[in-house]
Structure 1
Amino acid sequence: MSTRLQQAQPYALGLFRIVTGLLFLCHGASSLFGYFGKEAVSGGTWPGWYAAVIELVGGALIMLGLGTRVAALISSGSMAYAYFTVHQENGLFPIENGGELSVMFCWAFLLIVFTGPGALALDQLFTSRAPAEEAPEVRDGREAVSA
């Protein structure tokens, strides 16, 4: 059972990245363009408009798996900033201050920073590496000679 789960892990991470990126992209689109019944923020206003741009662009990059770790790090930081500057003044815990979404996005993106994009990412098209040469076997401080 565990080997099947291990084989599926890159695909589970990839699907997690795609869904989380899509949700973040939708959040940014709703803030920038007034989609999904939300009022659009005014262009160039701090921090709302800049946050919405990060959400839209970061969400798209994360969803596609392009520059994933950098986009996820910036997006995670953006959500941490949102939590501490907007939500935390209304209460200590996210359930009190309405910051659950910011906290979840922050930690989800931080997870992506450390795990990478998983399968189905465009990053893989640009970072295709030749298989690494096998390291020689070392015994007692000397390389083993193979026949």
Structure 2
Amino acid sequence: MPRRLRPSGDHLLGLFRIVTGFLLACHGVAKLFGVFDDGPVPVGLWPYWWAGLIELGGGALVATGLLTRPAALLCSGTMAYAYFTEHQPHGLLPLQNDGESAALYCWAFLALAVLAPAALSLPAAKLRLAAARGAKAHPPGTAVT
């Protein structure tokens, strides 16, 4: 009977990291370049332009697995700030104040900052590539001097 391919928990978290980072980076692109939106936010406009910069840069870093913990923590804090300053004054609950995405992103990035899954990241791929090159240069059973 063929063995089913089941992703490990690390790979599932890696996919979660990639998708979540990519989706936040899309929000940054929308703010900074006006894609899917009414137009770009004016450069330097507090807090929107800076939030877009953090969303694009932090989302890209998290998606690629580079500096995952600090980038995810910064993204989580940015989303908490967005929720409490932009959404929460319009109602107590996220369903009332249209803050569901900010709340979900905040908690998702906090989880990624704590867990920092390395599976499917650029640093892990670089290590695997270096190990593969080292194995080809030194076949098993040969001495390395």
Tell me the TM-score normalised to structure 1 length. Answer: 0.78
Residue equivalent to 1:95? 95
Residue equivalent to 1:78? 78
Number of aligned residue pairs: give it: 124
Residue equivalent to 1:15? 15
Runs of 4 or more off by more than 6 Å in structure 1? none
Residue equivalent to 2:66? 66
The alpha-carbon deviation at position 115 of structure 1 amounts to 1.0
Cα-Cα RMSD: 1.8
- Where structure 1 has 5 or more consecutive residues not aligned to the other structure, the ranges are 129-147
Amino acid at match of 1:89: P
CA gap 1:124/1:83 in 2 versus in 1, 3 angstroms: same
Identity %: 51
Q: State how 1:1-147 maps to structure 2 within 5 Å.
A: 8-124=8-124
CA gap 1:38/1:111 in 2 versus in 1, 3 angstroms: farther
- Where structure 2 has 5 or more consecutive residues not aligned to the other structure, the ranges are 129-145
Residue equivalent to 2:131? none
User: What SS does structure 2 have at the residue aligned with 1:37?
Assistant: coil
Kindly provide the CA deviation profile for residues 70-117 of structure 1, in whole angstroms up to 9, marking residues without a partner as x: 000000000000000110000000000010010010000001011112
* Distance (whole Å) between structure 1 residues aligned to residue 45 and residue 126 of structure 2: 35
